[in-house]
Amino acid sequence: MSPAQRLQTAFNGGVPDRIPSMPKVWFTLAANLLKMDVADIVRDPVTAMNCVVDAAMAMNCDGARLFLNPPRNVKWAGDKLIEVDDAGNPLGEVDLAGGLSTHLDDPSRFDPADPHCMAFNTTWKSHEPWIKDEADLQRIRVADKACFEQWGYGNIVEDLKAKVGDRIGLVGDCDSATMAYCVGLRGMMQAMMDLLDDPSFVHKLMQKGVAASIERGKFWIDRGINILRLNDSVGNMSVISPQQWREFVGPHMKEVCDELHRYKPGVKIYCHICGNVTPIVEDLAAVGLDCIAPLDPLGGVSVKDVRRRVGKDTVLMGGVHTLLFTRSDTTELRKASRECLNGNGQMAGYILGSGCALPPESTADNMRALAEEAANWRA
């Protein structure tokens, strides 16, 4: 099997020729592995997308996630990367230690009525929330799938597909529809308070997130990408309660899954929820997700326990402690990988991967060791 066939077979619940591997490669790690200037990735969405895929292929991964980024004008000021406007005036500093978002000095530059701002809302941060009240919420304009075509992302995806062929499976990122969406627009503390103080507001905001994720998903599907990723990295039991997840997150996640499955029967959807998901494992399958990921050991999740609870037919992905990828020796990484593979205990329906995004300091040796352990394991 080719890597693309192997990954698709695993997501379909079938038996591949070997277990595929797909750790989460973020831009900063990809730049380090390929010895690229991270500023080039921030500037150009073509470079960014190709960088992640090229790094994943170089590490013998079977799959790579495709993230849509806006172009940004940036320049180095010493060791700081600064985003500037067309006239060269500084807009804010890019967070090199985090998600490469720009902290805008002037929050008024973000307009929720602009679909481009909303499509890439996590690209920019501020000391105040983007959505302050009901009036701001009503101004939100969701970018539909046609917007991504107009902005040129369709051509970028087609060029990338032509370049890689079936040498790697490609996964489309649908961003977040739920808690991470609220946190991005309201800030962590305010989003948490909203759950208690204004549940109606939370549901209305998540409905905007649902619409945004569905449109992004339809864009990927129209471009032939049949594995999709949702994100809700704060929708875990380290942050909210199982009851809050079932009240707020689950129903809206189900809306996204139902609509995208209706739009393209056979499309496969998973959600990246790192941290502790043990109390909601069965719920994750019930809302329509085709795969449970990333089984984060930092949240106390184990592949063996999840496999025991959901049975043999649910697809699982992830499970390896992220910090092991930074070690100078591959011994611990290999041991942890084998524990995950043995915990899954079958060739069908499993993708070996990391419990969350890999640190920028992750080594090529450890990433290749992950792929080797996946390739050598047999039930």
Q: Give pLDDT tens digits for 303-338.
A: 999 999 999 999 999 999 999 999 999 999 999 999
Q: Which pLDDT score, from 0 to 100, does residue 167 have?
A: 98
Q: Which pLDDT score, from 0 to 100, does residue 86 have?
A: 93
Contact 195, 235 (CB under 8 A): no
What one-letter code names the amino acid at 254? K
Contact 369, 330 (CB under 8 A): yes
The mean pLDDT of 185-213, rounded to a whole number, is: 97
Q: Which pLDDT score, from 0 to 100, does residue 322 have?
A: 97
Identify the burial level of 362 via C-beta atoms within 10 angstroms of its C-beta, where 0-12 means exposed, 13-18 middle and 19 or more buried. buried
Share above pLDDT 70 across residues of the chain, in percent, rounded to a whole number: 100
Please give the Cα distance from 296 to 275 (Å, whole number): 6
Contact 278, 305 (CB under 8 A): yes
Q: Which pLDDT score, from 0 to 100, does residue 240 have?
A: 97
3-state secondary structure the chain: CCHHHHHHHHHCCCCCCCCCECCECCHHHHHHHHCCCHHHHHHCHHHHHHHHHHHHHHCCCCEEEECCCCCCCEEEECCEEEEECCCCCEEEEECCCCCCCEEECCHHHCCCCCHHHHHCHHHEECCCCCCCCHHHHHHCCCCCHHHHHHCCHHHHHHHHHHHHCCCCEEEEECCCCCHHHHHHHHCHHHHHHHHHHCHHHHHHHHHHHHHHHHHHHHHHHHCCCCEEEEECCCCCCCCCCHHHHHHHHHHHHHHHHHHHHHHCCCCEEEEECCCCCHHHHHHHHHCCCCEEECCCHHHCCCHHHHHHHHCCCCEEEEEECHHHHHCCCCHHHHHHHHHHHHHHCCCCCEEEEECCECCCCCCHHHHHHHHHHHHHCCC
CA distances from 198 to 208, 235, 307 (A): 16, 18, 37
Tokens for 146, please give them: 């046609």
pLDDT digits (tens, 9 = 90+) for 125-175: 999 999 999 999 999 999 999 999 999 999 999 999 999 999 999 999 999
The mean pLDDT of 46-56, rounded to a whole number, is: 98
Tokens for 66, please give them: 């495709």
Strand ranges across the sheet with 80-84 = 74-77, 80-84, 90-94, 102-104, 124-125
Is residue 292 over pLDDT 90?
yes
Tokens for 97, please give them: 């230690």
Residue 45 phi, psi dihedral angles, 5° rounding: -65, -25
Please give the Cα distance from 287 to 314 (Å, whole number): 13
Q: Which pLDDT score, from 0 to 100, does residue 304 have?
A: 98
The CATH code that applies to domain 3-376 is 3.20.20.210
Q: Which among 348, 340, 332, 325 is positioned nearest to 23, based on CA atoms? A: 325
The mean pLDDT of 229-246, rounded to a whole number, is: 97
Contact 341, 373 (CB under 8 A): yes
What is the rounded average pLDDT for all residues in the chain? 97
For residue 98, name the pLDDT band (cuts at 50, 70, 90): confident
Q: Which pLDDT score, from 0 to 100, does residue 288 have?
A: 97
Burial readout 185-204 (b: 16 or more C-beta within 10 A, e: otherwise): bbbeebbbebbeeeeebbee
The mean pLDDT of 91-100, rounded to a whole number, is: 94
